[in-house]
Structure 1
Amino acid sequence: MKHYWKRFKQLPVYQNKWLKISLAVLLLCIFFFFITLSNVYTETYNIERFNEAKETIRSPLSIENKKETERERREAIQAVEDRYEISSEITQERAGYVNELFEAIDKLEEEEKASKASDKEDPPAATDTEKAQKLQQIISPKLSEALDREELVALINASSEKRSLAKELLTTSIYEVMNDGVTTETVENAVKSVNEKLEYSSLSDDMKEVLYILSDFAIVENSFYDAEKTVEAQKHASNNVEPVMIRAGEIIVTEGQTITNEIYEQLKLVGLLNDDRNVYPLIGLILLIFLIGGIIAYEMHIHSKKRELDVRKIASIILISVLMVSLMKVASVFTDSVNQLFFLVPAATGAMLLKILLDERLALAMSILYSILASLIFNAEIPGSLNMEAGVYLLFSQLAGIIFLASLKDRIAILKAGIGITLVHILTVLLFLFLSFEKYAIADIFTFSGYGIVAAFLSSVLTIGLLPFFETGLGILSDTKLLTLSNPNHPLLRKILIEAPGTYHHSVMVANLSETACEAAGANGLLARVAAYYHDLGKTEQPHYFIENQMGITNPHDMLQPKQSAEIIINHPYAGAHLLRKHRLPKEIVDIAEQHHGKSLLQFFYHKAKEQNKQVKESDYRYPGPLPQTKEAAIVCVCDSVEAAVRSLKEPTNEKIEDIVTSIIHHKLMDGQLNDAPLTFKELEKIRKAICETLNGIFHSRIQYPTDQEVKEAN
């Protein structure tokens, strides 16, 4: 198995960063495409008119039914009545004829009375015919033509009161009728209407007959068709017609219903009978997946700049993405307008796993992308629509998981984060309910809030349950794993403490220095600390051959040849790495233990051997390597040498500490021990300053209290 793993590591896909990223993104894009295909792809049907529908069919999109809209507009236009312009001048003119007639009669009577009053002898009375003739001479010709002498005589012979009543009744009726407008078609009805009013008056029959003739004369057409106003009214009616829309998700035909011409045309309109329309949603989906894939590739690239992006981490991104999107898809199958099951999706699981296993930035980016996919997945398979409630809810859920998982000291922190996620879930559910125009019952609030609580609990439980799979199965070293390994009760740490207590104290000091230096250089401080605890595990095989464990005993190297001593010392990194592999500790910790001396020279034993034999080979007194390959390994290498050197100082001062730290870093650079580590000179300077500050804090000057003897002498 190891042989095949080594061969796999030599393949271009393992070694080339962009090739690894491209293949991973391609796999994810293919998965996203097929998992969301049903949410944008419109199924077409082979349906004939007047057959029964085999299933209920809904519209996949919102579209205007233009034919139906045009039909309603035509009906609205046809319903508009013609607009007419009523001429008030004609009304006044016709009523004026009536007034003129009665005023002329009144004037004749006044003249006759005046004539009688002025003459001493009564003149002969004028006959009715003479009166009628005279009246015809003074009234308008049109009135003369309309009324003959008998009718005029009837008016002349009527009393003043009767004529006044007749005049008032007739003119009022004429105004009422003509003010409403009289068209050519309604003249007869208008005359009839006036005559009916006259018929029920108290006037004599002779007077009524005359008035009938006058109404027939006076009432004429005064309302004329206005084409401009009619067209304007028709336009207004047409514009008020709302477009007839077929809404996305609207039922076009139910199962068993007959496919009428109207239904058939609607199915054709929304593209359910046309395969060509299905191409466009697919193009849109491809564009969306392309954008998502580009963002994932960019975030992987950014992560690789900060930490190594190996196949295991890429595999974890793929697996987490597949898991989260699959959970959403399963929940969407059972989601409808009543059961909003997206509230149950444990979306925070993916965000927390990515933060623990990789980093926070990548977790944030992937959370946003998962939310975009969720808004598409929960669209009830209605192409062209997005469920923004689902997208916003799942985004807040994932952001809550990232935020509340700020300090990861143990796995209990994940459960504590679940409490914060619960609160965010409930607030988001209430947000949707209160923003909605619909009124929800108290039961709905408790139901959806309960979904949110369950989702938060599932998120915490799934995160805790899946972490060991990624940590052990894929060999990913997470902060939780490192925190577990830093426990002093770990069997290997207890082995160092019991069998090599001096080495244990040395390891703790190196761990403190390494963590501080890593944080200054932008490396993983927690990894360096934990690796430093185990870096000298190999010394437990022969602890007394190392000076920190030689308390009160003779140095055994005094009885050995330099070559033998060198072999014992040189063996300890590799013996420690062997023990670490045997106990299945993470590869990163094993590598640091194996690389923390690089190919450095055991100067003491080399010079001692050279004093005995000038021909001694320097390579026999050098560690075989490999050189430190990571920032963390290089920093542990430096801190290991610095701690041992500073510990040997009798009176450590700030100046001495800075000199020795600078000297050790310079020596390792000149000796080529840091050649393979990705450290810059700027980072080395930050490391030097951090180590000096930490050591100065440890070995700060203390007040020299006088001894008892000095106190007695002073007294």
Structure 2
Amino acid sequence: MNSWFKKMQSLVGYRTFNYLTIVITALLLFLLLINGVRPEKYDIQQFNPSKDTIRSIKTVEDPVKTEEERERAASEVTSVYQFSEEVGENRAAIVTSVFEYVMEVQGESEGERFTIEEQVDMLKEDLRVLETEGEGIRFSDDALTTLLNADSDTLTNVRDSITTSIRDIMSKQIRSEQVATAKNEIEKRIRSNSAIPANILQTAVLIGRYGINENEMLNEELTQARIAQARESIEPTRILQGQLIVQEGQIVDREVYRQLKLLGMLTNQSSLKPIFGLILFISLCMWLVHMQVSKWRTDKDERQSALLVVMLVFILSVIGMILISLVSGNFEVTIAFLFPTALAPMLVRSLINERFAILIAFLTASVAGIVFQEGYSVVLQMEITLYILFGGLAGLYVIQGAEKRSHLLQTSMTVAGVNVVFMAFYLLMTQSDYGVSELLFYGIAAFTSGLLSGALTIGLLPFFESAFGLISAMKLIELSNPNHPLLKKILTETPGTYHHSVMVANLADAACESIGADGLLARVGCYYHDIGKTKRPGFFIENQMSHANPHDSLPPETSRDIILAHGSHGAKLLQKHKMPKEIIDIAQQHHGTTLLKYFYHKAKEDGKLVKEEEYRYAGPKPQKKETAIIAIADSVEAAVRSMKQPTAEKIKEIVQSIIKDKLHDGQFDECDLTLKELKTVERVLCETLNGIFHSRIEYPQ
């Protein structure tokens, strides 16, 4: 599969291939999740029985019910009235003014000798303003004549009687609807007053009734303010999420139909909001993966493999969730808790690194919340999201240092324990009462989830390793087993090379660990780096033992070809046995393009015209830190082993010389090994070699 991906990458280019991978994964996620985010729709007809029991899928405001409640509250507000004592005084003053006008006209007529008709006209003119004021009052000519013919004492008595009654009656609150009653009361008082002459009685009643008016008036502004306050005090009426709308078999009346329409739960309604929301969620997930891949400082092939692994693990996790979700409706308990919480993080941690594992832990937990959400959850089923997140992170942190497959099972037991603890938290926090059978199920489900995480990780690791050419710590441990066929081949056919490889492995492992490189990869790579020497073991000095050196009888060109070929021979042999790419690269690159100095100078001494390029290894140069360090350790171990009496000073000199020579020769140009790291490597190699080749006490015979 990895070779197929490489062919695709070579056709479209690295960057385009990565973008295509992200886009295809995004489309698959969209297709897998779209049904989970679409709200459930019902084919409902008014005034027909409902085929299902329907509950609200969300909380929404019901504007119709809200308005009804606000109108009810407004109707219950009591109107605000204001009582004014001045109204009574003003009305009494007007009545007094009527009688004063009459007396004035009478006084004017005494000097001028006006006829009664002229006096009536003069009085009409004075009282004309009263016709348009308020309800208005119109006096007949007879009524005015009666008043003008009365003496001043009579007019004064009538006036005082009427104004007194007006003040008395107007001292009480009189609203508009009570005015008629008040007018009848003053009429009754006037008619029962014997001091009022009969000929003036009717006119007095007219004036008295006119003097009564409302003195407690509606305050429209304050009333409207109270109505507005009452309306605002009513909280919006909401249809709550999970609220029962209609039961199965119940007639769908207009109100139920209106609520279903408001909730958007009818088949003739559609909303694009969940789809756009899902697109944004998937875009965010893909952006995080893209950023993680692009920021990872390693070669393109590793970044491509990491992207493919993360995407495939992600998709497989989602498919597993959906399969569980499809059958969850057949159970009364939440079987989503059976999902292996730590599977994805443990797989990615074993195959790539911790940063990608943390990312996949959060992504799978988020998607689980969407997949396993019930019909009435808001966006995510939070208990499932947190359950998978806690289990995933637990597995991720516990798996660190797990170098054997048995360690994965131990890790899964820890994950199971974390799952059980979270399950206890969940059951204690919920308000529901669970029976013994339910509690037992949830406990077993949490424990099973942890065990499945480890078991499935063990089962899927070989598939991913072979499919994508990846190598995990557990795979490296297996390859380091001395019973491996290739290691047996090295041990039996080239024992000197095997011993040399073990020594180089110790050096490279210590040096890699000191700068944060993969020491385990370097160690195992060293075991196989010289496997090409098994083709012609006798031509390599560490395997000659007491035998003569065959190169003494060979021309330099032939010796050169034999020595230079061991790297390519080893790579081919490793490829034949389907060894991981990293091990093959170490075998092929550990000499880089270094010069085979001994045979190059020997050819020159023979007087032959030689080119330096012909005596250099084919390469390529080391592409990774681990390979570069192996190249240094390989040369250093051989050089120090050839010394008769190695001392700390001599070891330091030769280590510095070899590193300096390779650096100036450009052997580290294609890997990201820094000068600071080279200095650390130099120090660690010297310390390790001093420990190996320390001086020993010479015991007496």
Give yes or no for TM over 0.5: yes
2:261 to 256, 264, 268: 268
1:421 matched to 2:415? The reply is yes
Could you say which residue in structure 2 is the equivalent of 1:187?
A: none
User: Share of identical aligned residues, percent?
Assistant: 43
Secondary structure of the residue aligned to 2:271 is helix
| Worse-matched range after superposition: 429-438 or 412-421 | 429-438
The one-letter code of the counterpart of 1:354 is: V
Could you say which residue in structure 1 is the equivalent of 2:293?
A: 300
Could you say which residue in structure 1 is the equivalent of 2:624?
A: 630
Whether the 8 Å CA contact 1:281–1:383 is kept in 2: the answer is no
1:28 to 20, 25, 30: 25
Residue 262 of structure 1 deviates from its aligned partner by: 0.3
- The CA deviation string for residues 312-343 of structure 1, in whole angstroms up to 9 with x for no partner, is 33222121101111112222334469421221
The one-letter code of the counterpart of 2:10 is: Q
Whether the 8 Å CA contact 2:2–2:467 is kept in 1: the answer is no
Could you say which residue in structure 1 is the equivalent of 2:251?
A: 258
Could you say which residue in structure 1 is the equivalent of 2:173?
A: none
Secondary structure of the residue aligned to 2:245 is strand
| Worse-matched range after superposition: 27-36 or 649-658 | 27-36
Residue 273 of structure 1 deviates from its aligned partner by: 4.2
- The CA deviation string for residues 416-451 of structure 1, in whole angstroms up to 9 with x for no partner, is 011101110110000111122333334332221111
Alpha-carbon spacing, 1:289–1:577, altered in 2? closer, same or farther (3 Å): same
- The CA deviation string for residues 85-130 of structure 1, in whole angstroms up to 9 with x for no partner, is 9xxxxxxxxxxxxxxxxxxxxxxxxxxxxxxxxxxxxxxxxxxxxx
1:438 matched to 2:438? The reply is no
Could you say which residue in structure 2 is the equivalent of 1:37?
A: 34
Whether the 8 Å CA contact 1:39–1:381 is kept in 2: the answer is no
Aligned partners of 1:679 and 1:636: how far apart in 2?
A: 12
Residue 353 of structure 1 deviates from its aligned partner by: 0.3
Residue 629 of structure 1 deviates from its aligned partner by: 2.4
Aligned partners of 1:446 and 1:3: how far apart in 2?
A: 48
1:651 to 640, 645, 651: 645
Q: Compute the RMSD of aligned alpha carbons.
A: 3.4
Aligned partners of 2:454 and 2:275: how far apart in 1?
A: 36
Q: Which runs of 5+ in 2 are unaligned?
A: 83-177, 179-215
Residue 380 of structure 1 deviates from its aligned partner by: 1.5
Whether the 8 Å CA contact 1:343–1:452 is kept in 2: the answer is yes
Aligned partners of 2:2 and 2:383: how far apart in 1?
A: 49
Aligned partners of 1:303 and 1:310: how far apart in 2?
A: 7
Alpha-carbon spacing, 1:515–1:12, altered in 2? closer, same or farther (3 Å): farther
The one-letter code of the counterpart of 2:283 is: F
Could you say which residue in structure 1 is the equivalent of 2:132?
A: none
2:493 to 499, 502, 521: 499
Whether the 8 Å CA contact 1:42–1:383 is kept in 2: the answer is no
1:284 matched to 2:277? The reply is yes
- The CA deviation string for residues 588-612 of structure 1, in whole angstroms up to 9 with x for no partner, is 1112101211222221122222221
Residue 623 of structure 1 deviates from its aligned partner by: 1.9
1:484 matched to 2:478? The reply is yes
Could you say which residue in structure 1 is the equivalent of 2:190?
A: none
Could you say which residue in structure 2 is the equivalent of 1:69?
A: 66
After TM superposition, the score normalised by the length of structure 1 is 0.73
How does 1:125-204 map onto structure 2 within 5 Å? none
- The CA deviation string for residues 25-71 of structure 1, in whole angstroms up to 9 with x for no partner, is 22222222222222332355564422344444443321122322333
Whether the 8 Å CA contact 2:640–2:654 is kept in 1: the answer is yes
How does 1:344-493 map onto structure 2 within 5 Å? 344-382=338-376, 384-493=378-487
Aligned partners of 1:254 and 1:35: how far apart in 2?
A: 31
1:680 matched to 2:674? The reply is yes
1:324 matched to 2:321? The reply is no
Aligned partners of 1:275 and 1:423: how far apart in 2?
A: 49
Whether the 8 Å CA contact 2:310–2:356 is kept in 1: the answer is no
1:570 to 550, 564, 568: 564
2:48 to 44, 47, 51: 51
The one-letter code of the counterpart of 2:32 is: I
Q: Which runs of 5+ in 1 are unaligned?
A: 86-183, 185-223, 709-715
Aligned partners of 1:415 and 1:274: how far apart in 2?
A: 49
After TM superposition, the score normalised by the length of structure 2 is 0.74
- The CA deviation string for residues 206-256 of structure 1, in whole angstroms up to 9 with x for no partner, is xxxxxxxxxxxxxxxxxx999999999989987786643222233433444
Whether the 8 Å CA contact 1:268–1:274 is kept in 2: the answer is no
Equivalent residues, number? 572
The one-letter code of the counterpart of 1:484 is: E
| Worse-matched range after superposition: 357-366 or 68-77 | 68-77
Secondary structure of the residue aligned to 2:453 is helix
Alpha-carbon spacing, 1:454–1:292, altered in 2? closer, same or farther (3 Å): same
Aligned partners of 1:226 and 1:333: how far apart in 2?
A: 67
The one-letter code of the counterpart of 1:290 is: S
Could you say which residue in structure 2 is the equivalent of 1:531?
A: 525
Aligned partners of 2:610 and 2:224: how far apart in 1?
A: 115
Alpha-carbon spacing, 1:233–1:442, altered in 2? closer, same or farther (3 Å): farther
Residue 550 of structure 1 deviates from its aligned partner by: 1.9
Whether the 8 Å CA contact 2:408–2:458 is kept in 1: the answer is yes
